[in-house]
Amino acid sequence: MSHDLFEAARGAMAFAHAPYSNFPVGAAIRAEDGKVYTGANIENISFPQGWCAEPTAISHMIMGGAKKIVEMAVIAEKLPLCPPCGGCRQKIAEFASKETRIYLCDETGVKKTMTMDEMLPFSFETELLG
């Protein structure tokens, strides 16, 4: 199942707007509704006002009516196994469980699988705070 998320993340990366960093990133989420939602990084010359690929995909998921990330793939053109940045990890955690699988990819496919808890241990637990 992770291969289709890899393909979707790689396809999303083609839409990245990264003229300043030249660092395209793509992300793909499978939500609890079974649908796949994608995103790419969108830079803005007024740093840090751009969006990373992961929250762009989360935005598409929310606007599509889904609320929960089941699994997610991330790929960067210039950095194999590029993990989500710190801020994105907390954004993902808002819509994921500790068991949610995060797939880190290179240009050929999924190379590393981590759980959200491995990616961001001791994250804010939204069910306790919200």
Given the residues 32, 43, 54, 94, the one annotated as active site: 54
* Among candidate residues 113, 25, 111, 29, the one with its CA nearest the CA of residue 76: 25
How do strand 36-40 and strand 25-31 relate by DSSP bridges? antiparallel
In the residue annotation, 54 being an active-site residue is answered as: yes
**CA atoms of 66 and 53, how far apart (whole Å):** 18
Residue-wise pLDDT tens digits, 1-59: 699 999 999 999 999 999 999 999 999 999 999 999 999 999 999 877 899 999 999 99
Q: Spell out the residues 6+ positions from residue 88 whose beta carbon is closer than 8 angstroms to its own.
A: 52, 54, 55
| pTM, rounded to two decimals | 0.93
* Among candidate residues 41, 101, 40, 39, the one with its CA nearest the CA of residue 69: 101
